Amino acid sequence: MTNWTLWACAAGVWSLTACQGDPSKAGASATTGRENPLEKKLAQYTTVRLTSDLERLSENEQRMIPLLIDAARHMDAIYWRQAYGNRDSLLQSISGEDVRRYAGINYGPWDRLDDNAAFVEGVGSKPAGAGFYPRDMSKEEFEKTASGSAALGKALRSQYTMVVRDSAGSLQAIPYHQAFADQVAPAVAKLREAAALAEDAGLRRYLELRARALETDEYQASDLAWLDMKDNTIDVVIGPIETYEDRLFGTKAANEAFVLVKDKEWSGRLARYAAMLPSLQSELPVPAAYKREKPGSDSDLNAYDAVYYAGDANAGSKTIAINLPNDEEVQLRKGTRRLQLKNAMQAKFEKILRPLADQLIAEDQRQHINFDAFFSNVMFHEVAHGLGIKNTVNRRGTVREALKEQAGALEEGKADILGLFMITKLHERGELKDRNLDDNYVTFLAGIFRSIRFGASSAHGRANAAQFSFFQEQGAFARDSSTGRYRVNFPRMRTAVDTLAAQILRFQGDGDYAAVTRFMADRGKLSIVLQQDLARLGSQGIPVDIVFEQGTEVLK
C-alpha cells in the first residue's frame, strides 16, 4: 500500500468536507441565489487532507490504523456531550445545511473563533462550564455543595466527573466511565484489538493500560507507560486530557484523540534537545525559588504525521503539537513527550502563515519567514511546557489549582515566551549555529497574528493577544502606519522576552489568581488598529485555520 489518503465522513461524526463539501466553496444559496450568511464564517477554514506514507508500516501496523481511528471516533461522541450536550437534537433542529456544517466544526452552536458567539437562533450564550455542569449552577452553589462533604467535594472537583442534578435537584458527580459507558466500552474494545496486533512491546502495554484507564478513570499508569514508549512507529493519544473547555473552573478534562505515525528521520534530528532541559531551567530569568523543580529526565521529542483528529483536538482551531501528560506528578517524575504534528504544521504554514506574513510583515523582513523557523518555534513551545514550576512557592497547591480557569492561557503564554527564550539561549551556545536567530523572531511575530485570530475563547488566542500588547508596549516591534505592516526590533524583542518570561513565571510560582486575572483582562484586549489589520487578512481570503478530510472509508 502506498501513501494512503485518510479521509471521509466518520460514522456519527460531522466531517466537514467528506460529508458535506468544501466550506471554502459554500458561497450563495443554490436554491435562492441569496448570499449565504455563514459564507464568511465557513471561509475562515480551509480544507486539508491528512495523508502519510503508510508504506513504511508493517502489515500489523497497517491493520491497527483503522482500529485506532474507530476508537477515536468514540471520543468524538463523548466530547460533543461535554462541549454542548445532545448532538443529534441540535443538528436535527437546524434547517440550514451550512449552519449544520459550522456546528460540526465547532461541536456546538457557538463560534469558537468569535468568542463563542451563538450562530444558531435561540440557543443563548455558551455556559462557562460547557456541558460539564448543570447550566443553572452557579460557582457559589458548587463551592457550597463541595465544601459540605470531603468525599463529595473530591468527586465534584475531579477532572473526570460530570456534575449533574439528582432527582432532588442536588449536585452530584458521575464518573466519566459511567456517564459515557456506551462510548467507552466500544472504544476500549478497539484499543484492546489494536494491542493484540502491536509488535512493539511498549505500545502494546500502553494500549492495554489506556483501555483499562478509560474503564476506571485512573490514568497515571497509562501515562507512565506512554512515556516509556521509545521505538513505536504508531501512536495514539486518547481520553480526557485538556481542561480548556471548562471555562468555569478550568478543571474538567475533555475527551479527544490523535492517531499518529512517527517520522523517524525528522525525530532523529530533535532527540538531543530534550536532554538540555535541566541546564535551560537553571538559566530562567527568575529567582531560584521559581525554578527549583528539576524537569523530568525522560522527556523526548518526536515528529509525526497525524492521520486522525477527534473531539477536543478537532474543535475549531487545530492543534499542531502536543506536550503530555498533564499530570504534574508524572511530569516531575519522568517528564513529558513532545509530539510535533509535521503534516498539519506544514499545512498551516503554507496556507495561513506565509500569506499572512505577506500582508502584515514588513517587506524587508519577510525573508526571515520560513518553515524551519516555524517548526522550531512550535517545537520549543512544547519543550518549554516542561520548564518553570508546577507547584506554587507559597503552598497554594499546584499552579493549575491556584490559577483555576486562568491557568491554561497563562501556561500557553509561558510556553510561547520560554520557547523563544530557549531558542535564543541555544543559539548563544552554538547549538543552533546553522540557524539565523532573526528568522525565529520574525516568524514568531507572524505566529502571534496567526494565533490571535483563534479568538478569545481559545487559550492560545488569549495568550497571544496578551503577548502582542506586552511586546508593543516594550517596543519589540513597530507598525508602519503608511503600509500597515510590522517590523521586529531585534534587541528590544529579546529584552521583552526576558521580561515577560520573568513576569509569567512569577505569576505561576505565586499562584496569584487575582493578578493573573487582571493581567489577562488588561492585556487581552485588541486595539482598533489591530482589529483592522486582522480584518484585512479575512478580506484577502486568508483562512484562520484548517479542517480535515480524514477517516477510514477510503484506505486504498
Helices 459-474 & 490-510 angle (0-180, nearest 10): 130
- Strands 337-341 and 321-324 turn out to be antiparallel
- pLDDT(313) > 60: yes
SS3 544: coil
Q: CB within 8 A of 433, min separation 6: which ones?
A: 427
Model confidence at 331, pLDDT cuts 50, 70, 90, reads: confident
> pLDDT per residue over 234-263, tens digit each?
999 999 999 999 999 999 999 999 999 998
The domain locations on the chain are 263-549
Q: Residues 148-189: pLDDT tens digits?
A: 999 999 999 999 999 999 999 999 999 999 999 999 999 999
Number of other CB atoms surrounding residue 136 within 10 Å: 9
User: Among residues 208, 193, 170, 198, which one has the least CA distance to residue 58?
Assistant: 198
Better-scored residue on pLDDT, 420 or 460: 420
pLDDT tens-digit series, residues 449-508 = 998 988 766 777 888 889 999 999 999 999 999 999 999 999 999 999 999 999 999 999
Residue 483, φ and ψ in degrees, nearest 5: -110, -20
Instruction: Name residue, grid cell 465544601.
Output: 147
Residue 477: strand pairing partners: 488
3-state helix, strand, coil in the chain (%, to 5): 55, 15, 35
Q: What is the 3-state secondary structure (H, E, C) of 197-257?
A: HCCCHHHHHHHHHHHHHHHHCCCHHHHHHHHHCCCCCEEEEEEEEECCCCCCCCCCCEEEE
Which string of DSSP letters, residue by residue, matches 154-194? HHHH-TTEEEEE-TTS-EEEEEHHHHTHHHHHHHHHHHHHH
* pLDDT at residue 24 tops 60: no
Question: 14: exposed, middle or buried (C-beta count within 10 Å: 0-12, 13-18, 19+)?
Answer: buried
pLDDT at position 118 over 70: yes
